[in-house]
């Protein structure tokens, strides 16, 4: 139920803001608005303003909305109202009205990020886990437990890192932009170090957990503690109990939960797992146990599993900014997410990134529910991300989208002539077909993730 409510709230808010941008700019430019609709299809509820004559409505299908303006191309317009018709307005006014929707979404993201910065959010501390084997981070000398202090891309000045999520964002930028990441960090003995992570040759076609495994940093450092034991699993058979902290496996020191999970998982890759000698700490006493992981088939792979939830809560920090600093940080984040979103879309078009990175309504609903369950701040961050995606997507020069109309106006501005009705009709059909293909791929990806 929470997932459904969060999804509907998210869609309603993002669509309302987008359409309000068109609506407000149209009114400012002297265009008469006939309908303002949240949702498509038959009207569920609504009213008509006696002053402006605008019908405000909520449609049956919530995935979208529209603003219908007075326009001679759609229906006859009385001579007395020709001055209020959209098609009679100057080019700059028409372009401003079209661009206002996506810009409103970007402004919403800026506001949401600012509010989160002012309110403060609790995030994992910038302590990294033991890097995955043969990863970029391991080759750079990380061993786990280091505190990330500052980072920067290529020749940019390094900036302070306030949390692991902040650091993860820098990793994402560096990987997708193909730039080296300069890092200043503190080792477990308090010594300061500097290093550079080079992402040259990194496979970024799938910007998911596999990319971060190749980099080496999958999650923040958390203790290798048994959180929960599954009945009839290998962990219960070996005598493991909730609260046990794993110190060693086959004589190897265990730095954190990430390292332990990797060891267990890799024990069942293409082989039957062998018994492992674990040394655990229980009630301040060290206890030796023999644990034999079981081989399971998951998502087309064979992996080792012990039937236990592994990992304690990581160290947390409160991240909060003042009024001006919060706005400045939000503006930078909005710009960075926008440019990164645009770059990812470009990589999908050119084939350097997989179309599997596209997500549809099922995935959006899932993340809406998850973020809402984590609290208001995380839900606001989720809304900001989706609002940016909606704004950037609508600015693409694709017919039927706002960016497509801006493309038409660009042609009109250069040539002095509007796009012909024949060309406009053909391009609209092409754009609609392309949009349907994108939506079909996104929904297919959603369903594939459900059954993965």
Nearest to 295 by CA among 306, 285, 286, 283: 306
Q: Is 377 a catalytic residue?
A: no
CA–CA separation, 424 and 137 (whole Å): 52
DSSP code of 237?
H
DSSP code of 202?
-
**Is 276 in contact with 291 (CB distance < 8 Å)?**
yes
Catalytic residue among 19, 123, 146, 377: 19
Nearest to 33 by CA among 82, 86, 88, 74: 86
Query: Of how many residues is the chain composed?
Result: 452
- Range 85-93 contact pairs with CB under 8 angstroms and sequence separation of 24 or more: 85/31, 85/32, 86/26, 86/31, 89/29, 89/30, 89/31, 91/409, 91/412, 91/413, 93/29, 93/30, 93/31
DSSP code of 236?
H
Task: State the virtual CA torsion across 232, 233, 235, 236 in degrees, nearest 10.
Answer: 0
> Could you tell me whether strands 252-253 and 276-282 are parallel, antiparallel, or unpaired per DSSP bridges?
unpaired
Residues labelled catalytic: 19
């Amino acid at each position: 139920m929470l997932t459904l409510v969060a999804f509907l709230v998210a869609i309603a808010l993002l669509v309302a803001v987008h359409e309000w941008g068109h609506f407000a700019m149209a009114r400012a430019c002297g265009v008469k608005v006939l309908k303002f609709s949240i949702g498509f299809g038959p009207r569920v509820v609504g009213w008509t303003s006696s002053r402006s004559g605008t019908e405000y409505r909520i449609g049956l299908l919530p995935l979208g909305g529209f603003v219908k303006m007075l326009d001679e191309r759609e229906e006859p317009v009385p001579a007395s109202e020709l001055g209020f018709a959209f098609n009679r307005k100057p080019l700059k006014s028409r372009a401003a009205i079209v661009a206002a929707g996506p810009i409103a979404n970007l402004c919403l993201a800026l506001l949401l990020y600012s509010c989160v910065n002012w309110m403060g959010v609790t995030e994992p501390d910038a302590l990294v886990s033991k890097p995955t084997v043969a990863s970029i981070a391991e080759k750079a000398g990380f061993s786990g437990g280091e505190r990330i202090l500052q980072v920067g891309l290529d020749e940019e000045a390094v900036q302070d890192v306030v949390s692991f999520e902040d650091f993860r964002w820098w990793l994402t930028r560096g990987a997708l932009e193909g730039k080296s990441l300069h890092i200043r960090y503190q080792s477990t003995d308090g010594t300061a170090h500097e290093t550079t992570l080079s992402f040259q040759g990194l496979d970024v076609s799938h910007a998911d957990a596999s990319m971060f495994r190749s980099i080496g940093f999958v999650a923040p450092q958390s203790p290798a503690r048994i959180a929960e034991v599954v009945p009839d699993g290998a962990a219960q058979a070996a005598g493991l109990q909730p609260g046990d902290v794993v110190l060693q496996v086959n004589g190897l020191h265990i730095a954190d939960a990430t390292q332990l999970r990797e060891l267990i998982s890799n024990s069942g890759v293409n082989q039957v797992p062998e018994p492992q000698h674990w040394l655990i700490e229980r009630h301040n006493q060290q206890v030796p146990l023999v644990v034999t992981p079981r081989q399971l088939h998951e998502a087309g792979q064979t992996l080792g599993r012990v039937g236990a939830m592994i990992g304690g809560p990581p160290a947390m920090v409160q991240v909060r900014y003042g009024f001006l600093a919060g706005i400045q940080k939000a503006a930078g984040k909005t710009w960075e997410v926008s440019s990164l979103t645009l770059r990812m879309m470009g990589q999908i078009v050119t084939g350097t990134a997989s179309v599997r990175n596209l997500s549809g309504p099922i995935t959006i609903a899932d993340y809406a529910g998850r973020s809402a369950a984590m609290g208001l701040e995380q839900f606001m961050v989720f809304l900001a991300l989706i609002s940016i995606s909606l704004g950037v997507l609508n600015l693409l020069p694709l017919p039927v989208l706002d960016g497509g109309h801006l493309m038409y106006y660009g042609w009109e501005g250069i040539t002095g002539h509007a796009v012909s009705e024949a060309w406009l009709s053909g391009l609209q059909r092409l754009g609609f077909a392309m949009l349907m293909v994108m939506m079909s791929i996104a929904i297919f990806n959603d369903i594939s993730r459900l059954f993965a």
